[in-house]
Amino acid sequence: MSRSLGSALPAALTRRLSQTDLGPLLGRGLPFVTLSDDGSLHPMLCSYLEWLALDERTLRLVIAGGSRSARNLEQRSVGTLLLVEPEQTVYVKCRAAGAPLRVADLARFTLAVDDVLADSPEETEGDVRIVSGIRYGPAPAMDDARVQAVLVALRMG
């Protein structure tokens, strides 16, 4: 069952999304869900590479500028980031703060955190736990041109 932690990221999650120790987090997939024009949910998979916490209430996300997720986020402004890992299961509901910054074929969104929900098993579920998050490989190299383009876009004024 999930419970609200409020409208700010906990300190540990802010650090995790700050990219201060990005290397060990590469290769982990993070689902992000936007709202389609017909009202249905539209999922995408991104990674810790594409996310940057500026502070406990502000996130940046860089995705393909021509993607449906970018269009959905620009038009309807809402999305939910899911972090489902052994260390934590957290849902971050957020809202785009204005139009995205376009950098070549990328779109960088600045998102305000609306609500953070922590999910944990209830007593009746016993010892059930998340044992693995979404993984992909090979993890991108930090000197890869696409990686560098995303990192630059995340940090642009």
Task: Return the structure tokens found at 21.
Answer: 């120790």
What are the tens digits of pLDDT across the range 40-76? 999 999 999 999 999 999 999 999 999 999 999 999 9
- The pLDDT tens digits of the residues spanning 7-35 come to 999 999 999 999 999 999 999 999 999 99
Q: What is the CATH number of the domain that holds 77?
A: 2.30.110.10
List the structure tokens of 58.
């502000």
Q: Half-sphere exposure of 91 toward its Cβ, with a 13 Å CA cutoff?
A: 12
Q: How confident is the model at residue 122 (pLDDT cuts 50, 70, 90)?
A: confident
The total of structural domains in the chain comes to 1
**Which residues span the domain enclosing 55?**
2-123+131-155
Distance between CA 126 and CA 61 in Å, rounded? 36
C-beta separation of 2 from 91 below 8 A: yes
Of 48, 43, 13, which is closest to residue 30 (Cα–Cα)?
A: 48
Residue with the two structure tokens 């982990």: 28
